[in-house]
Structure 1
Amino acid sequence: MSTLINAITFIIVALGKAHGAAAGSCDASDYVIDKPRMRVDRVLAAHDTLEFTGAVISLVDKSVNQNACRGSTIRLQYNTTP
């Protein structure tokens, strides 16, 4: 059994502040994914693996203090486009 993967798309689904992080707000809106959709165009069979690159996560430059985001954990979800 195999499946064609045309693209992989990443989204931020959750953010966890680090233990002991500075007071203040930090959520998914503090981050942006540049190039969240990556072309793959590959057929994958059972137990195949796939390496891909392209997406970059950055901290958004806001006018407020973002120290609460230091050390945070970003949870990503990826979806495939057959």
Structure 2
Amino acid sequence: MQRIQKKRNRTVIGDIRGLGSMIGAELVEDGETRKPARALTARVIKEAASRGLLLASAGRHFNVIRFLVPLVLTDAQVDEA
């Protein structure tokens, strides 16, 4: 998480949580106020879909990107994604 945050000028990842193969990355507009970044989340999901990666939004504010990794995924597929 910190490596991704350092690549950007601002913090957009508020939290990463999950258990097992279901992971959620919460996107925020500001790391201090933790204001939900609903529009950014929608743009990320749309861009991912245009590249063949299906993601889903979740959370009360629809600012969490949900990663549902199938158990049959290979290491090569994870690296590509």
TM category, shorter: under 0.3
Asked which structure has the greater RCO (Cα within 8 Å, sep 6+), the reply is: 1
Length-normalised TM-score, structure 1: 0.24
Length-normalised TM-score, structure 2: 0.24
